[in-house]
Amino acid sequence: MRVVSQDALKQLLSENIDHVFTYALKITHPNLNGGTPYRIIGDKVGYTINGNYFEPIPFGVDMQAAEEDSLPTMTISVGNVDPDLITTIKTQPTSPDVETYVIMIDTAGNAYIELGPDNFSVLNVDWDDAAVNFHLGFERRFLQEPAMKWAFVPGVANGLFQ
């Protein structure tokens, strides 16, 4: 279960929420930006969080509702502002790793990581003339892998095989 900080909980239950809750992303790929991660935040100004500067970039985040027996997924949308964006995406042999954070910014302008990092990979990308949508998830779909821990092998019941 998620642990929510006292300050965040107080804000969430308040009638007047003066702290800003927003998303931040760290995008890493060896072929992009010389391997240096892109750090972006969904606000109008940038913030330094834990010594790393997050650039203000407009993007939308759609988190799917949590469902039993399914892995979490997330969709990030950015404006399709440049044809080079699609070309860059299409020519990459591997997908980038994305760390997602929920950031809380207090009234004094201090930014904190409230949740995260959560580690995702870009599984699929689609686009139209207005937006590029990155569908995030886990490359290793561990819910569909065999549960080896529970396989009945001789080592589980030594007495039966002696």
Rule CB under 8 A: choose which of 1, 2, 6, 15 binds another protein.
15
Residues making up the chain, counted from first to last:
162
Binding-residue total with another protein (CB under 8 A) = 15
The nearest distance, CB 101 to another protein, in angstroms, is 15
Contacts (CB under 8 A) with another protein, residues 66-105: 105
What number of CA atoms fall less than 13 Å from residue 69's CA on the CB side?
Answer: 1
Nearest-angstrom CA–CA distance, 23 and 35: 22
Here the tokens at position 55 are 């650039």
- Rounded Cα distance between 144 and 71, Å, is 10
Mask of contacts with another protein, 99-138, x by CB under 8 A? ------x---x-----------------------------
**Residue 101 CA: distances (Å) to CA of 49, 106, 110:** 11, 16, 15
- Residue 16 binds another protein (CB under 8 A): yes
25 binds another protein (CB under 8 A): no
Catalog residues that contact another protein under the rule CB under 8 A: 11, 14-22, 43-45, 105, 109
